[in-house]
Chains A and B, each alone.
Chain A
Amino acid sequence: MRGDSNRPVSGGAFAARKGLNHVNNRLFTIAVWGVAGCVMLFIFGLLFLILERGVPKLTWDFIFGLPSEIDAGGGIGPALFNSIYMLVISLIIAIPLGVAAGIYLAEFAPDNKWIGVIRICVEGLASVPSLIFGLFGIALFVEMFQLGLTILGAAVSLAFLNLPIIVRVTEEAIRAVPGEIKQASFALGATHLQTIRRVLIPQAMNGIITGICLVAGRGFGESAVVILTAGVTTSGVMWDFNLLSPGENLAVHLWYIQSAAIVPDAQEISQKAAAVLIIIVLAINILFRLPLWIRERKSR
């Protein structure tokens, strides 16, 4: 009899808890959907806002025009050119070094303490704030070599900033190549160098290119390093290939216009410059990654 009287009570308690669990679960699901939805809306809102305020006013005159210090209507030509020029030089320095170091870590390095040291160095370097590379650039190029603020100094500092990422990406990509393919190459009598050049690198190309485009986007939009090593002015002429002239890039120009310039149309210039910056960074990312995504989707 006693058990009978207990049963409905305990059943009720279970029912109540079950109900609570369901409510919690439902609340949780709604909250997660809500937060994720808000975040995505917010992100698209931001991107849309930048593009919407800048793109309609873009003209070729603006993109290739010279900036002006006092009058309205200045362009971003030299800054844009410097961005690309610096990026190309920094990649020319960083890619061979980074890929070679990545190959060493993946292929040659003995599995002992030494490789651990190098790997910690690479990770440490990857975590160094970009500002520090700027300070390093000043100490090295402005102070030690007495060059002043130059495009060269900024490009080399950018290369140092990007180097560790390229190393890590290359190492991971080469390690991901299946061992059978490598052994097949050795079995055909290929030397280690031939195997690396003809087999491993082509196989790992996808990963390496993803890494390089990541780095390129970062280098294109980097401002802290450039502001310290190349200054906030340009030499004032378009297509200035001189490595030793001062040269701000587009990101620095955006900051400069927004916080220090006295031109009357600063707001409009910075809106347009931000739009150009975003478009190019997104283009670098999408163009390089598109083939990758397509391939990934196919292989699924």
Chain B
Amino acid sequence: MLESTTTGSIAVSGELGHSIRSGSGRKLDRKNRLLLYNRTFKIACIASAGFVCLILFSILFLMFRTGVLTFQTVPAAKFFFSTDWSPENESYGAFIFIFGTFALTALTLLISVPISIFVAVFLAEIAPRWLRDAMRPVLDLLVGIPSVVYGFLGMTILIPLLRESAGTSMGDGILAAAIVLSIMVLPTISRISDDSISVVPQKYRDASYALGATRFQTVFKVVLPAARSGIIYGIILGMARAVGETMAVVMVIGNTPQLADALFKPTSVLTSNIVMQISNVPFDSTWNYALYLMGFLLLVISLVMIVIIRLIQRRGAKS
């Protein structure tokens, strides 16, 4: 029974178009028409798939072509390592923003990953069924809440709170942005980790319990290592979201080109700097080119993450 279905599927996928072509009898108009429809449809589908690739390549090309013009006037070493960003004086050092993006992402992950993994373990291992069924859709819904709303909440609630509790005059800064981003990536990381923990075979857990392990030991020594690649996938997706998030960050980070060496100090990251400045500069200026180059950097960072995900998945598929 099983065998017959598999051979059937091979035969079907092998000669899809042939079933019409090899039909006996005289040539029917309808047959030609069907063939034509089939072919047109297939071409339309191929064209759409090609179009998706075309968008990616044209984005890469446009961003690169515009960004690389920066190096006509600004040496690369200065762009990447100088901390002096004052476009009014023709000084384009982007180190502050690059550092800011990495620092913000690291701080976000530091806060969100432990909490997310706890939530995921709760959902997959500990929660009673009714609670699990109620919580999963809620977390899914949270992914869809617009980032402006998070930024708005951060601006009106979190910053006054931070200002009060830290006793500083400024609440804006990398800590506020990291907290807002952590809330935003938490559902992403915890739902993906939850899914990957749920697919760990039950027999692993049974074996661990049979050896006398407690639930604590089972989760940390057996279940989490087995779900590792899925959890890393979730973390990288969360990371990509944190790197690329714009509006929520803009609203709480302070938007001042200063190096983010303290938790409460208005600073700026790649995304926030681009969005705050791009509308005020003419297209054909070094300033604009520098902003596009920063955009290109963001693009490269996010594509590198995708490559890492692919590598992890390939390794996961092999083992």
Contact = CB atoms under 8 A, between A and B. Distances in A.
B55 A220 contact: no
A180 to B, nearest CB: 7
A293 B146 contact: no
A108 B46 contact: yes
A267 B245 CA distance: 24
Nearest to B17: A192
Nearest to A196: B41
Interface in A165-201: 167, 179-180, 182-183, 186, 189, 191-194, 196
A131 B246 contact: yes
B244 A160 contact: no
A85 to B, nearest CB: 17
Nearest to A39: B119
B235 interface: no
B149 interface: yes
A277 B295 contact: no
Interface string B275-311: 1001100010000000110010011001101100110
A129 B274 CA distance: 12
Interface stretch (A61-69, A136-144, A235-243): A136-144
Interface in A28-55: 28-29, 31-33, 35-36, 39-40, 42-43, 46, 49-50
A125 interface: yes
Given A32-B126, A43-B142, A221 B9 contact: no
Contacts of A128: 56, 59, 244, 299, 302-303
Nearest to A138: B278
Contacts of A123: 306, 309-310
Interface stretch (B87-95, B196-204, B209-217, B223-231): B209-217
B49 A135 contact: no
A107 to B, nearest CB: 8
B246 A129 contact: yes
A170 B180 CA distance: 32
A103 interface: yes
B319 interface: no
B110 interface: no
Contact of A224 (B49, B155, B247): B247
Interface residues of A, number: 97
Given A24-B214, A25-B216, A139-B62, A40 B144 contact: no
B175 interface: no
Contacts of B291: 135
A72 to B, nearest CB: 18
Contacts of A254: 148-149, 152
A124 B56 contact: yes
B215 A28 contact: yes
A278 interface: yes
B251 interface: yes
Contact of B303 (A105, A122, A124, A274): A124
B53 interface: yes
Interface string B2-35: 0001001100100011011000000000000011
Interface stretch (B73-81, B133-141, B162-170, B260-268): B133-141
Interface string B179-219: 00001001000000000000000000000000000111101
Contact of B41 (A120, A132, A193): A193
18 contacts: A35-B115, A35-B119, A36-B122, A39-B186, A49-B157, A50-B153, A98-B48, A101-B51, A132-B299, A134-B275, A135-B278, A186-B16, A191-B19, A193-B41, A221-B149, A224-B246, A277-B148, A285-B144
Interface of B: 5, 8-9, 12, 16-17, 19-20, 34-35, 37-38, 41-42, 44-49, 51-53, 55-59, 62-63, 66, 115, 118-119, 121-123, 126-127, 135, 137-138, 140-142, 144-149, 151-153, 155-157, 183, 186, 214-217, 219, 240, 243-247, 250-251, 271, 274-275, 278-279, 283, 291-292, 295, 298-299, 302-303, 305-306, 309-310
Given A251-B247, A259-B155, A277-B148, 11 more contacts: A25-B216, A109-B49, A131-B244, A131-B295, A132-B295, A132-B299, A143-B283, A182-B12, A186-B12, A274-B149, A285-B140
Interface of A: 21-22, 24-25, 27-29, 31-33, 35-36, 39-40, 42-43, 46, 49-50, 96-98, 100-101, 103-105, 107-109, 117-118, 120-125, 127-136, 138-140, 142-143, 160, 163-164, 167, 179-180, 182-183, 186, 189, 191-194, 196, 214, 217-218, 220-224, 227-228, 231, 251-252, 254-255, 258-259, 267, 270, 274, 277-278, 281-282, 284-286, 289, 293
